[in-house]
Structure 1
Amino acid sequence: MIDSTLKVYQMFGDDYSKEIYGQRVLYSLTNDDKYIHKLVNDLEPIRWLRKKLRGISSQNVLLYGAGFRGQRVSQICPDLFKGFVDGDLKKQGKLVNGFKVYSLPEVMQCFADPVFVISNKFGVEKIESELMSCGAAQKNILNLGEKMTAFTAEQYFDLEELKPSENEVFVDCGAFDGDSAFAFMKWCNNHYKHIYCFEPDKKNYVLCRQNLSEAISKEKCTVFNKGTWSSNTELSFSDTADVASHICDDGLQRISVETLDQELLVKRNEKVTFIKMDIEGAELETLKGASRIIIEQKPKLAVCVYHKPEDIFTIPEYLRTLNPDYKFYLRHYTFAAWDTVLYAIP
């Protein structure tokens, strides 16, 4: 394994990717969150936050929101904060990750010139209004949640080395509600030949078709209510009607799965230029079912490599065997251990 890992390491196109690869390998081997925290500390939103705080004289910095996002931020950079502020009475007075949760009136009474870092994704305008009505200075309100949301919205398409080509054919494995298809359209400025979406969850499939109805009506998009795999068969499936729907042995539903080679190459003789995969652990099997496309057509790839501990080893190694001329890049997009994407650029 060491030999193949070193060969994969040498295929990365920049030092940042190599750093992410090292941290993910160590996390997979140890399951120690410190490696994810180190990785996340280098994300653009955290760098932005540290830079903003260096320009503010007050050291009384509090995280607004003791929910999941706030907790993750407090774990990643505990050196920045004095505590949480949260409107939930059940949380107030308690410790979360070693930090006390204050009510807003408490903060305004106990801390001089407090600085508030908002971690929430929703309701930010209301939060900002509440803070200012209680006497917080607008310059002391930092919207980290907005920065993080904007950062994650660029997932799969923000890599500088990833350039649109003529007649793009985009394959979205794990299409959910069509969000990645829309991001693709924006990325290529709507200059594309066709989009193929694969979504096995029935509710997500219906929503995806509704959202992409304009492109479908123009015969620029095809949405399949099926999954992707290394063979054409039926598999058990857990249909949670969200981003976590996945193939599993104990799933209550049965779904059809097909290889990309069969559906796009054999049936349609399509020239694929870009494949995105976020399919809850089915990435490697799907890549096996797209081996001809990858070898013969050398499409750009954006593949999630975090669903299984072994993904960080097996997926880049498999791609290396199919096309040793690919240049690899890694990027990470959340405050947690998920959403690490491997890019393969021909």
Structure 2
Amino acid sequence: MKRVNGIYEENLKALFEKKLIKNNYNFNKIPFILFGAGNLGLRTLTGLKKIGIKPVAFGDNDEKKMDTSINGIEVFSKEKIMSKYGDNILIVLTIWKGSTGKEKRVSTLIKGLQEFGFKHVVDITKLYNDYPDTFLPYYCIGNPENVYSSEDKILECYKLFDDVISKKQYYEQVKWRISHDNWEEFVDVDYNTYFQRDLYELNENDIIYDCGAFDGDTIRALLHKKLCFKKIISFEPDKNNFDKLKKFVEKQESYIQKKIQMFEYAVGNKEEILLFDATGDADSKVSNNGDSKVKSITIDNFAKENPQNIPTIIKMDIEGFEREALLGSEIIIKQQKPILAICVYHKQSDLWEIPLLINKISDGYKFYLRHHVGDCWDTVLYAIPKERRKIKEKQVCVK
């Protein structure tokens, strides 16, 4: 086992010993297709227009989009692309979703296009990395140069992880942030999120802070698995999402409703009013370009004002605002050491910055990394106090 751990550390160090050679595809000189006429395709087209580059067409598998036009760019099936442009046309895959299922993975989609006959198929990072000022950052896709400049922190963070699974996933994620050439490592990773029985067990005394409650998806998962808990405190600042959350909770049996409290707040590092991009879906987030305003609180202040509801578990999926929320939780983390389940995929550097921050706040944790949805979506850091790192016999709680 020690040798296995050492291999990942050696491989990680090797990433920094020799910079990978950047491939420039000359998108400004050769014709190419954007394959995927959804949100990512539209985002990419908008960026290309800013720099004066125009794809020859969109490609898509959705029959409803065939032979239509999006912002002046025609949408074709792969059959029509082949007949019109031939097998040498460059295909840029503009599909990268946090969806479960192998068939939706980037590596699967690329392989399918190659098997169809296209000789040159690349993922979206090849285009984005050529024009970082226009396209980056985009979730955990960032300029690879930023990874190289964070070498010391990345190597320091690696030492925090407690098991081989975490060490391997951390290495693969760092490598992906540099080269984006190991998509195949993120195919078989559809697991249950936040409540990993191989890491910790919930109990009837747990008070869970659900930060980024969305429409109640985390609560839904808890109830579906009949997991134990005493109370859930939900925070969701998007009004439309909050209304969905309320409707979901109101449909539950009365004894469940009594165990759930909901607050239409964001969580951050101070109490203030923030600009917010309220999309009414899972992508809602704090943003300087937000079209609405929301109230932000700190977990420390909330817990102080509600001493009967001190959290034993804190889950955060708040679209890149996790670091700020953790800074607003320092007292609770230091004094109470709740289990932390924190998303680290919204920003490139969250993968190492967030574990290092938590370890700086308190040295009483063991750290684990689990990747719950393929292609680097839903990557969660688990910081577990040493006394909670044990597995009990399976429990089923009904009430």
Q: What TM-score does the superposition give when structure 2 sets the normalisation length?
A: 0.55
1:1-346 maps to which residues of 2 (within 5 A)? Answer: 1-28=150-177, 30=178, 32-35=179-182, 37-41=183-187, 43=188, 151-152=190-191, 154-187=192-225, 189-213=226-250, 214=252, 218-346=257-385
Tell me how large the CA RMSD over aligned residues is.
Answer: 1.9
Moved more, 245-254 or 11-20: 11-20
Q: 1:238 to 1:190 in 2, by over 3 A?
A: same
Q: Whole-Å Cα distance in 2 between the matches of residues 34 and 258 of structure 1?
A: 40
How has the CA–CA distance of structure 1 residues 313 and 190 changed in structure 2, closer, same or farther, with 3 Å as cutoff?
closer
Alignment partner, residue 67 of structure 2: none
The one-character-per-residue Cα deviations of 1:148-170 (angstroms, maximum 9, x if unpaired) are: xxx45x11113411211341101
Task: Answer whether contact 1:178 1:208 (CA < 8 A) is retained.
Answer: yes
Counterpart CA distance in 1 for 2:201 and 2:298 is 26
The answer to whether the Cα contact below 8 Å between 2:211 and 2:318 also exists between their aligned partners in 1 is: yes
8 Å contact kept, 2:337–2:364: no
Cα deviation, 1:156-194, whole Å, max 9, x if unaligned, reads 11341121134110111111110101223445x353221
Q: Secondary structure at the match of 1:203?
A: helix
Shift of 1:223: 0.7
TM-score normalised by L of structure 1? 0.63
SS of the residue 1:333 aligns to: strand
Letter in 1 for 2:336: Q
Alpha-carbon offset, residue 38 of structure 1: 4.0
Deviation at 1:216? 7.3
Structure 1: segments with no counterpart, 5+ residues = 45-150
1:338 CA drift (Å):
1.7
Distance 1:190 1:340 in 2: 22
CA distance in 1, matches of 2:253, 2:176: 41
Change (3 A) 1:215 1:195: farther
SS at match of 1:341: strand
Output the CA distance in 2 between the equivalents of 1:336 and 1:310. Answer: 17
Contact map agreement 2:202 2:227 (CA 8 A) in 1: no
Structure 1 counterpart SS, 2:309 = coil
Identity of aligned residues (%): 35
How many pairs align? Answer: 234
Q: Distance in 2 between matches of 1:39 and 1:292?
A: 38
- Return 5+ residue gaps in structure 2 as ranges: 1-149, 386-399
Q: Give the CA deviation at 1:2.
A: 4.2
Letter in 2 for 1:284: R
